[in-house]
Amino acid sequence: MGLDEDDFVFHGTPIEREDEIASRKKKAVAGASGTLKTLPAWKQEVTDEEGRRRFHGAFTGGYSAGYYNTVGSKEGWAPQSFTSSRKNRAGARQQSISDFLDEDEKAEMEGQSLAASSQFDTFGFTAAEHSRKQAEKEQHERPSAIPGPVHDELIAPAPESIGVKLLLKMGWRRGHSIKDVRASSDARREARKAFLAFSADENTKESSDSLVLETEAETSLGPQFSEDIKFSETTPVYVLNPKLDLHGLGYDPFKHAPEFRENKRSRLSASKEAGYRKPLSMKESLFGPKSGKMAPGFGIGALEELDVEDEDVYAGYDFDQTYVIEDEQPARPSNDNRLRLTSKEHNVLPGFGAASNSDYSVERFDPPKIPKDFVARHKFSGPRETETKPTASTPPDVPPPEDKNLKLLIDGFATFVSRCGKLYEDLSREKNESNQLFDFLRGGSGHDYYARRLWEEQQKRSGQSNLQLDVKVPPSVQKMTAETRGSLLGERPLQKSLKETETSSSSGGSFQFPTNLSDTFTKSASSQEAADAIKPFKEDLAKQERFEQFLKEKYKGGLRSSDSNRFNIVSESARAQERLDFEAAAEAIEKGKAYKEVRRATERPIDFLAGGLQFTSGGTEQIKDTGVVDMKTSKTYPKREEFQWRPAPLLCKRFDLPDPFMGKPAAAPRARNKMDSLLFLPDTVKAASGSGARQVSDLQEPEKEPEVEVEVENVERPVDLYKAIFSDDSEDDEEQQPMNGKIQDGQEKKNEAAATTLNRLIAGDFLESLGKELGFEVPSDAPYPEGTKPMEAENKAKGKPDASSERRPGLKEKPEEKTSSLKPVSEEEKSTQKREKSPRNWSGGNDLYSSESSGDERRRKRSKKDRHRNYDSESDSSSDYHKRDKHSSRSRRKQRESSREKRSGHKKHSKHYKTKDSSSSRYSGDEERKESKREKRRRRD
Amino acid sequence: MSATTELPTKEANLLKGHEGAVLAARFNGDGNYALTCGKDRTIRLWNPHRGILIKTYKSHGREVRDVHVTSDNAKFCSCGGDRQVYYWDVSTGRVIRKFRGHDGEVNAVKFNDSSAVVVSAGFDRSLRVWDCRSHSVEPVQVFAPFLRFTIIDTFLDTVMSVVLTKTEIIGGSVDGTVRTFDIRMGREMSDNLGQPVNCISISNDGNCVLAGCLDSTLRLLDRTTGELLQVYKGHISKSFKTDCCLTNSDAHVIGGSEDGMVYFWDLVDAKVVSKFRAHDLVVTSVSYHPKEDCMLTSSVDGTVRVWKK
């Protein structure tokens, strides 16, 4: 029976029988004595290290699940004993946390929590007693005006007790509870009682007895009081930063973006002040000066760099609706709680009312008065003498001198000086020390007239400039741009092009002097610079100097100084000739500049002048011609040009059009521009996008007429090589195996060997073709000049079957034979050193290799052409040259096995290429890959 | 003034939603829907006649500069500052493929008639043609060079705009040329206008090309001869990309101006027939309904307006 019971779980209450009860008892005795070995599941208990029952609590505070995870025992929770009788009433028992704690936890709590017993409670009797005594004493001392219970004694000052001080020192803060609610509320209640007792004391004139009474009365008020106290405990004393948003507690939206916090604050404060939102300006704070150009609201990723293209071209317009929107924000934060205190409600604090008049008043100071005639502009003393010059001393009106020329000169000079300042007068006086014409500057004849004229001009000018300034000083709220600032400071914007300056200077009339002296300096410097950069007469220094002088004068439009002709050129005719030269050169330079301006947008600086072209009296015309042509064409826009353009076959397919160039050889890529082909600018072209290397080579050819169909065959990429590299060659093998029946012994072995050879060849082949593509010399099969190539190709294309039939036996021949036949071609291109090392073998290996590969290449070309013509023939032809590939590789392999030296030479060869163009190889390698892949795709299509 | 009454000068709807500048607004093939794109990197599909935003397409990493829908409304392509051309599915909003290869920003994209090909015009002085048909279902092609099969790089400067006909690709470039690449003939015709070409648009009869130049002039060219037929002036177009187009009847020429105005010229005598303030800021794009008298304008101020008569 007992055994059966072990295996089952019984529910419900079984009808007990006598013998069963007996057996259970027996069992229980046995369990207690530890004799029972295996207990049923529900009887087994899990205990913790202390030996208490512990069940499946996942955490330390895990719930002690009991009987089959339901209750503590089979019987359920044991109810607490509760007894209440008439004599001994059981009070309403309040639960506390201690009811739910284990003993050891209670002990832990005891250690940490600080509970002042009522004995030592400073809030309680002692403090109250003390204050009461104090008050009593004071009452005796001074007579109170109000009879009866004195008010100020009711409000006895509670001293900062030592307990509070201690607590504060220990880290307790006001508003926080010290221990659990009940205990402290008790203490508070006691204190209350004391106070009440004290207040009652006066009325009843009974000190101690009444206190007891009061205490009893207070107990009835207990709950209410305790609640009050609780409230006071949990409410913090100061609410410094009231939580006004709807974020979760402790959530800081600006945690990782503190810049925005500042923004928000400023916005809030602004909205408080003005009542409206201001657009965010993140310009200064967030990204530094760069971000000013960025469009608001659209940042770029952290990993990307701010680039030119990220500039906001539409900057300058402000988007007023762009905010960083925080939708968590409540409609209007009720921070007016505090405002209400001061403004609206007077009875917020019970017992307090707002004073009708406050003693505290802010003393206000009025801003200083601005004099009515004050103009908010600083007047500069210095270069602008016209403004500062005292106009008091008006020179007398003097009749002009008789000499008309002198009069003109004086008039002109006076205008000039009035514009440029006194400095210029001094300068020119110095300069023209000996010149009779300028006597009037030194008090000679006409000086009075000059003085008068100068004054008049100055008057005129100052009036003008005043007017100007009046116009220019705007409502002054406008944003100051660089230009306005510049104009305020009297700077001149840099001239866009020399052409413009010329026209402006020429249009100004007879005397167009630069308005400021400093200006003249800067400008002459710039023209000087231009002249320095362009030295067309390098070979003749003196002439160059004269030319520069000429330029200076030309661009300045200034007075021709008397010593401009100090270079004494022998004859008049020579001088005239030189002048013509100068003019031509200047014009050419100018045109070049203008052209450059135009071309700047295209990012191809054309400084053909700096590029070393020299001007001679004859050579200038050439340049002039091109310039003139260019100018002329600009007048006849729109201009139509027509070129041949070859669309890709696939493009035609996609547009559902027949390929106009079907089967025709590729046309020569035409020179991009007349200018480009004229001026050899390999470096700029290289910078151009697309396939750089090829263009360079094309451009370096003499200019071709675009209309003429020049048949130039580009160096084709060896398609099959790439196919071998990039496509899985399993299918190829399958194709080829039956064909190579002769040679095959063990197929796997052969395949493996073929693969390895192929791999080896690939490297060499690849490098070679790479070299070819970059225009390097490939030893045997010289990259014949492109003009002759098409002929050859054409011939071969025509006689294709013959060629291939020739080829096939050739391949089966021994390599040595080929070497001898091809040797002379490559002989001269080899470095002698290498030949010395292993003369015969090396050259032989190399020759064979290169010739073969080039042969391969040619064949491929041919077959490619075939493909263009006839798509059907593609498959068999390709398989054809696969086979051939195999052959050649095999033969090569044999050869390699026979001599190691060949291999080493071979290697050297390839290395040689690698080092030669390590810089560009990567790029073109990529390009080739792309190309090959494209090729592959095309084939698939 | 019967001419002005037949022009769409009354604002019918205001499409608001883009943050920041709207760079292009385009009708779809039948004119029932419109696609807009802008600085906020999104493309939005609207019903412009009811003023409803239907869908927002987000995937671009930088601003989106142009968008074009296929004739069957199933796909569209877009391009922009992230140097890629995106090929989208309209209904799902997924990017089917990204065409990578441009070395600079891409200014304009267009499908060809059969939607088999996307042609893009880029800052890298090239027009590139991308194949939409190959590799049918793969979502995003990683090796974009596979797809690039034609590069037209005879331009000397940024290509700003591209237009396709059945047999030709026409590109307008800052180098001042409008180049027509005739696939059937295998010819390239280069019409040098001497001024940077901002936008090109083809007349509905296919005989003329309208080229907006940066000297505040629109030029109408005869396509067969390259002859300059007419010059339209009055608006401002100096530094921003502003669009121009012809009305669907080819009676008027429309041009957006940098001061927010829209101009209507008579095609033949080049008179300003009508002008009105469409936006506060630069008008970036104008698009004309293929059948009705309805026009879309987009602006830097972030709005797109629908105009009807």
Which residues from chain B sit within 8 angstroms of residue A930, using beta carbons?
A: 145
Distance from chain centroid for Cα A177: 53
CB spacing of A643 vs B117 below 8 angstroms: no
In DSSP notation, A40-59 reads: -GGG---B-TTS-B----SS
A637 touches chain B (CB under 8 A): yes
CB spacing of A673 vs B156 below 8 angstroms: yes
Which residues from chain B sit within 8 angstroms of residue A323, using beta carbons?
A: none
CB spacing of A933 vs B146 below 8 angstroms: yes
Domains of chain A from N-terminus onward = 120-139+156-168 (no CATH), 397-468 (1.10.10.790), 534-556+574-595 (no CATH)
Q: Tell me the range of A289-298, A841-850, B33-42 where mean pLDDT is highest.
A: B33-42
CB spacing of A933 vs B184 below 8 angstroms: no
Q: Find the residue in A nearest to B240 (Cα).
A: A313
Burial track B117-143 (b if 16+ CB lie within 10 A, e otherwise): bbbbbbbbbbbbbbbbebeeeeeebee
B2 Cα to chain A: minimum distance (Å): 34
CB spacing of B154 vs A652 below 8 angstroms: no
A316 touches chain B (CB under 8 A): no
CB spacing of A644 vs B149 below 8 angstroms: no
- Which of A298, A637, A645 should we substitute to test contact with B (largest number of B Cβ atoms within 10 Å)? A645
Q: Tell me the range of A324-333, A443-452, A681-690 where mean pLDDT is highest.
A: A443-452
CB spacing of A313 vs B240 below 8 angstroms: yes
Task: Give the mean pLDDT of A809-832.
Answer: 41
A323 Cα to chain B: minimum distance (Å): 10
Task: Give the mean pLDDT of A201-215.
Answer: 44
CB spacing of A642 vs B188 below 8 angstroms: yes
For the stretch A510-533, pLDDT in tens is 344 444 444 444 444 444 444 444
Choice between B111 and A595, residue whose per-residue pLDDT is larger: B111
Which residues, 6 or more positions from B10, have their beta carbon under 8 angstroms from its beta carbon?
B307, B308, B309
Residue linked to tokens 């410097």: A525
Confidence of residue A294 (pLDDT cuts 50, 70, 90): low
For the stretch B264-289, pLDDT in tens is 999 888 888 888 888 888 899 999 99
Report d(CA A936, CA A929) in Å as an integer.
10
Q: For residue B105, with 0-12 CB atoms within 10 Å meaning exposed, 13-18 middle and 19 or more buried, which class applies? A: buried
User: Does residue A870 sit in helix, strand or coil?
Assistant: coil
Q: Tell me the range of A142-151, A256-265, A318-327 where mean pLDDT is highest.
A: A256-265
Report d(CA B113, CA B168) in Å as an integer.
11
Tokens of B63: 């601003």
CB spacing of B117 vs A934 below 8 angstroms: no
Which residues from chain B sit within 8 angstroms of residue A937, using beta carbons?
A: 134, 146, 149
CB spacing of B181 vs A641 below 8 angstroms: no
Which residues from chain A sit within 8 angstroms of residue B150, using beta carbons?
A: 647-648, 650-651
Query: What ipTM score was computed for the predicted complex, to two decimals?
Result: 0.81
User: Does residue B35 sit in helix, strand or coil?
Assistant: strand
CB spacing of B167 vs A655 below 8 angstroms: yes
Report d(CA A685, CA A698) in Å as an integer.
11
Residue linked to tokens 């353009």: A645
CB spacing of A298 vs B63 below 8 angstroms: yes
CB spacing of A689 vs B153 below 8 angstroms: yes
CB spacing of A322 vs B20 below 8 angstroms: yes
Choice between B241 and B133, residue whose per-residue pLDDT is larger: B241
Q: Tell me the range of A564-578, A726-740, A830-844, B34-48 where mean pLDDT is highest.
A: B34-48
Q: Tell me the range of A216-220, A724-728, B9-13, B147-151 where mean pLDDT is highest.
A: B9-13
Which residues from chain B sit within 8 angstroms of residue A654, using beta carbons?
A: 112, 114, 116-117, 129, 131, 133
B211 Cα to chain A: minimum distance (Å): 11
Interface of A with B in 281-300 (CB under 8 A): 295-298, 300
Task: Give the mean pLDDT of A659-672.
Answer: 60
CB spacing of A644 vs B166 below 8 angstroms: no
Task: Give the mean pLDDT of A673-687.
Answer: 40
Residue A417 pLDDT: 76
Q: Find the residue in B nearest to A654 (Cα).
A: B116
Query: Which of A102-106, A301-305, B270-274 is predicted with the least confidence, judged by mean pLDDT?
Result: A301-305
Residue linked to tokens 């073709």: A769
A605 touches chain B (CB under 8 A): no
Query: Which of A582-586, A633-637, B210-214 is predicted with the least confidence, judged by mean pLDDT?
Result: A633-637
Of A309, A654, A690, the CB nearest to B105: A309
Choice between A143 and B167, residue whose per-residue pLDDT is larger: B167
Q: How open is the CA angle A790-A796-A801, to the nearest 5 degrees?
A: 160
- Which of A597, A640, A695 should we substitute to test contact with B (largest number of B Cβ atoms within 10 Å)? A640
Q: Find the residue in A nearest to B155 (Cα).
A: A672
Under DSSP, the state recorded for A97 is G
Which residues from chain A sit within 8 angstroms of residue B188, using beta carbons?
A: 642-645
A727 touches chain B (CB under 8 A): no
For the stretch B170-223, pLDDT in tens is 999 888 888 888 888 888 888 888 888 989 999 988 889 999 998 888 999 998
Choice between A717 and B76, residue whose per-residue pLDDT is larger: B76
Report d(CA B75, CA B95) in Å as an integer.
10
Q: Find the residue in B nearest to A659 (Cα).
A: B184
Alpha helix positions (H), chain B: 2-5
Percent of chain A residues topping a pLDDT of 70:
24
For the stretch A396-433, pLDDT in tens is 666 776 777 777 888 887 777 777 777 777 777 777 77
A932 Cα to chain B: minimum distance (Å): 10
Report d(CA B132, CA B106) in Å as an integer.
17
H-run or E-run covering A652: helix A649-654
Choice between A932 and A11, residue whose per-residue pLDDT is larger: A11
